[in-house]
Structures are given as C-alpha cells and as structure tokens.
Amino acid sequence: MNEKLKIALVGTGGWAREHARILSLRHDVDFCAIVGRNPERTAERSAEYNTAPYTDLALMLSEQKPDLVCICLPNQHHFETTMQVIEAGFPLLVEKPLVFEMEQANALLEAARAKNLFFAINFNHRYAKPLQLAKEKIEKGEMGDLVFATWRFGGEGYSDHRHANLIETQCHAFDQLEWLCGPIASIMAEMTEQTGKGLSTLALSLRFQNGAVGSLVGTYDSSYAYRDTQRIEVNGTKGRVLIEDTVRRFEFQKAGDETAQVWEAGYFNDLDREFHRTFDRHMDEILAAFRAGQEPPIHAQWGKRALRLAFAAIESFETGQRVMVTDSE
C-alpha cells in the first residue's frame, strides 16, 4: 500500500476531534468522510477538516468505500454502529470501552474474526513516554521480579450507568497494569455510591499470575485538576518505577540507591508533554501494521479483556468474595 489510505470517521464529539485532527494532518491519509447524527454539527465539523459530511453510515460506506473506519461515539453507543461496520466488511479502529456487555463483546469479535478484519482499539495511554520507559525497564529485567503495583486515576465524571467509572475509565487501568505486570489472576472489590452517581468510586485488590499483588483506586468523585490525578507505582526486587499523570514524569530507582533516574519532557518537547499526542503515536503504529497486513498493535480483544476484568470486580463486590479470572484474552 503505497497510495494514501482512505479513512472515514464516525463521530463528531470532543475526542472525535482528535481523530479528525490526526487524520487531516497525515500526508499518507485521504480523510474522506465524517459521519454524524446531527446534520448541522456534521456539516460544520466536515467543513473544518475539508472532508465529506454524512448522516447515513451505510451510504458513506457505499459511496466512499474507505480502507479503514474510525469509530468514536458516546461510551454506551458503541455496539450497533461497530457491528454495522463489521458486517459491511470494513476494517476498523474503535474507542474504549469496547462495549458494556460481554455478549456484545463476543459478538463483535466473532463477527470481525469471521470476516478476517483488522480490528483495533485505542488504548492510547500505552504510548505515553513514561509508560514506554516503564515497559522497557521491566522487559530488560532492571526491575527484577515484580512484587506489587498500584494504580490511581479519576476526576469529575457522571453517567447513568451504575458502573461507568469501572467500565469506561478504569479499562485503562486494567489494560496498563496487565501490559506492564502480566495477566491478573484474581480480584477483590469494594465500591461506594455515596455521591449518588452510581458506584462511582472503587478500590480493587489484585493478584497477578506471576505472584505479584496490586491495588487499583478509581473515581468520578475527585478532580482532574489535581496533581497526581493519575499515578502508577510498580515495585520489583531490584527497583521501582513511578509514573505521574501519564505524561508528566517518570522515575526509576534501583533498590538501595538513593539516586533516582528521572524523565520529564524538556522545554521544547511539547510532543511528549501533551497527553493527546499519545494517540498520534498509536495511530503511527496502527497504520503501519495495517499497511503491512499485520494484526493491530492493540487488538480489540484487549477491550474484551478489560471488560472481563470489570465484570470480575462487579461479581466480587456483589458477592463479597475473591473472584478468579481464568481467561487470558
């Protein structure tokens, strides 16, 4: 594939603008269409990015015949549109969460597998510089055997779904903790709904298959304005890693060494300092894999995996029991 890839976008919301920004700036992409529900909003967004507006997804697919479709819709409205694109036979990139029900996740993955479709999901946090540095330290053995990991993330939020924070936001927690530390083997959960917004704050106790343990705190009852609204610590027998606010700061310190290695973006390094640019780096790898006929760098099956872990946490909270997680997808 040496020619430009024709890529269409479904969605006109806030994060969909990041899709549009990236697609419109790439010289290897023909950003052919935007599909939205509201004609005026869709026309405005399409004019802004010099692409064709549609309010009928089937018509867009028939007329434009894109090589790849990006889908960025409200969190609880992913299933029908995603299935429509899959059944029409088009490769796709979807946003997290994959869906809110396991039956829907299975249906999407089975349908895409039957058509042998490229099916990616945008867990873009993995592409933050501090996350990449942490992964490198772990893979090189500089951390030794992992012993524990902690995660905290949350700010303002509201949804009419009782488990919105767990499913649509802490999916990043599940994805990153497993990416760094390996599969989670079991979960115990506590949750609270004291603010009247569903079970909007939660604390999970985790055990990984490699014997390490972990903790996860997630909330919609805090503020994204706070420093350290997102924090990861991974501790091993030889050292530990700290990550502050996903893109802000990385620290590695060897056990017994009072001097730490620190990364922070330099004065001119806006690209690594900006959270939104993690998506740019992910898109680089998505399109490279697509052109090469390879699997996506993060397959949609990881969306199902995060949902599987979320439902294990729900089961633990509802039963008061530790829940084993047996599948490794």
pLDDT digit string, tens, across residues 103-118:
999 999 999 999 999 9
Asked whether residue 290 is assigned to any structural domain, the reply reads no
Domain tally, the chain: 2
User: Looking at residue 221, what is its pLDDT?
Assistant: 97
pLDDT digit string, tens, across residues 151-194:
999 999 989 999 999 999 999 999 999 999 999 999 999 999 99
Asked whether residue 172 is assigned to any structural domain, the reply reads yes
pLDDT digit string, tens, across residues 212-269:
999 999 999 999 999 999 999 999 999 999 999 999 999 999 999 999 999 999 999 9
Is the confidence at residue 325, as pLDDT, over 80? yes
- Residue 163: which domain range? 125-278+307-324
State which H helix or E strand residue 202 sits in. Answer: strand 201-208
Read off the CATH number of the domain in which 183 is found: 3.30.360.10
Asked if residue 265 and residue 134 are part of one domain, the reply reads yes
Last residue of a domain, one of 122, 149, 172: 122
At residue 221, the 3 state secondary structure works out as: strand
Asked whether residue 287 is assigned to any structural domain, the reply reads no
Asked if residue 134 and residue 264 are part of one domain, the reply reads yes
Last residue of a domain, one of 75, 102, 122: 122
Asked if residue 205 and residue 90 are part of one domain, the reply reads no
Is the confidence at residue 329, as pLDDT, over 90? no
Read off the CATH number of the domain in which 25 is found: 3.40.50.720
327 confidence band (pLDDT: 50, 70, 90): low
Over residues 295-313, the mean pLDDT reads 98
Q: In this prediction, what percent of the chain has a pLDDT beyond 70?
A: 98
Would strands 68-71 and 92-94 be described as parallel, antiparallel, or unpaired? parallel
User: In one letter, which amino acid is 328?
Assistant: S
Cβ atoms of 42 and 327 closer than 8 Å: no
pLDDT digit string, tens, across residues 112-152:
999 999 999 999 999 999 999 999 999 999 999 999 999 99
Asked if residue 135 and residue 113 are part of one domain, the reply reads no
Last residue of a domain, one of 122, 138, 161: 122
| Strands lying side by side in the sheet with 239-244 | 261-263, 249-254, 239-244, 230-236, 146-154, 213-219, 201-208, 184-192, 323-324
